[in-house]
Chain A
Amino acid sequence: MEFFNAIVALSNFVVIPALAYGSQLALGALGVTLIYGILRFSNFAHGDTMAFGTMVTILMTWWFQSIGIGLGPLPTALLAMPFGIVGCAAMVLLTDRTVYRFYRAQKVKPVILVIVSMGVMFVMNGLVRFIIGPGDQRFADGERFVITARDFKTMTGLDEGMAIKSTQGITVVTAVIVVGLLFWFLTYTRTGKSMRAYSDNEDLALLSGINPERVVLVTWLIVAALATVAGTLYGLDKSFKPFTYFQLLLPIFASAIVGGLGSPLGAIAGGFVIAFSEVTITYAWKKVLVYLLPESLEPSGLVQLLSTDYKFAVSFVILLIVLLFRPTGLFRGKSV
């Protein structure tokens, strides 16, 4: 019994939140890694792209809510997400046409593109704050829990409850569907294959008659979709605030690099590595240990390795360790 209580406490406070957070990071990191693979630069504006897509989704959600359209137990935001994706795609295509294409034609060094993306970051950040304001926005509705702690206790008769928020469930399910679609697209469709070819060897791909502008266009569309989905899921699960999305840049980049920049599989693995380490290292283990250890050995403190405010430090240290010992990441990404 004690053992099962420990397992339940562990999944309630560590495994489930980390799974949801990891899926959000993985979706974000997939966007970063695709841009890196095809356009060959680290996009500093990615956090703000996520914020922009989420903002459009939120505005549509509010409109749907005001005219009484909903999905019953599911959040209305899922219905608004396609509109968010369209809005975000329009935005990134506009920036690509007005900003990035010029530098692509000049074949500038990647670091110049990074600096350019800093400018785009400012503009997008300003736009988002201008339109929706810098404050917190909550837009989740529908059922709050798939299973509440009390139901779980009565069901199993354990002392520990396990709650699964519906946003956590939706996050994981959506992430699985989106990632499945993405891999199907990259592996089996003609466009997906040409994208991979372009990422592997640009010159060879051009020689085989692949249209680079088309590849870039499709990449931006996919990135916009991934960013909006990631942003909306994060916003549903926690809350939407432009500054938080900007700060997500660090764990997202850490995930992409840990997995290996340019490798989609790596981005997913990296997202979960970062999420699980952040949550386990900042979790107070006392609750779990109390069940597992004999009474004489019970810890007096919280057994928290680091306070939650240091979660950035965790993703950063993992990033550094990977870079020092395996510079191309876990899944052998590219190193331009």
Chain B
Amino acid sequence: MSSDEAITSRSLLVTRESRVPTAVALLVTLVMMTVTMVDFVGDLQATDTFTSETPEWALTFEVQTYTMQAVETLQDDETRILEFDMAEVTVPEGYAVGSINVTITSEEEEGISVQCDSVAGDLIENGLTAQWNSPMSSLSGQDSSCQPIDLALQVYPDFDGRSATISASNEYQAMQHWLQDGWGDGVLLVELDLDVNSPLGIDPIGQDTDEEITVDVTVVMFKANISLIA
């Protein structure tokens, strides 16, 4: 800078050579600020909606069942444990095991008595991954009136097969509870116990000494569907 040129605040900031690059730099700044600001504002609105509103989702279930059956003849006072390997169950893609229903049916057909035998059934708690302590599970039953015994084991947490409305920030979070793996793995153990009953306790020729018991196991599988309630 020549000595006769007075130094001013302006000349400290801009010279003839620096004018164009400075203007370009500031213009680039302005353009970038505008472009990114539009992006930011768009995201701000989306985020604001996301954090301030929790939409409601309609939850429905598609249900399929898989049935297994075992027919066993038990002697009087016999206890027998039946095994149903859940690995044999074919679970369709996207489905999970929701619950297992067991029906125990006895047939009174031998002997001359018309007195029903006493049958007891239990689901034995083991390593099968399920809600063993759920109030919706019914693990024991007994009958001496020739009626079927119904037992139930809830496998998937909170699954009852009924549609519901839930609040969640996004579809993933709404579905998250219903996307768990690992429930229903293992072997279902059903314990049967038979006590033959004779009229007035008399069976002189010893004809009524056993009972044929049918165990039906129905595995309920579900697939959760979610849709935004407008």
A, B in one complex: no
Residues of A within 8 A of B (CB): none
Residues of B within 8 A of A (CB): none
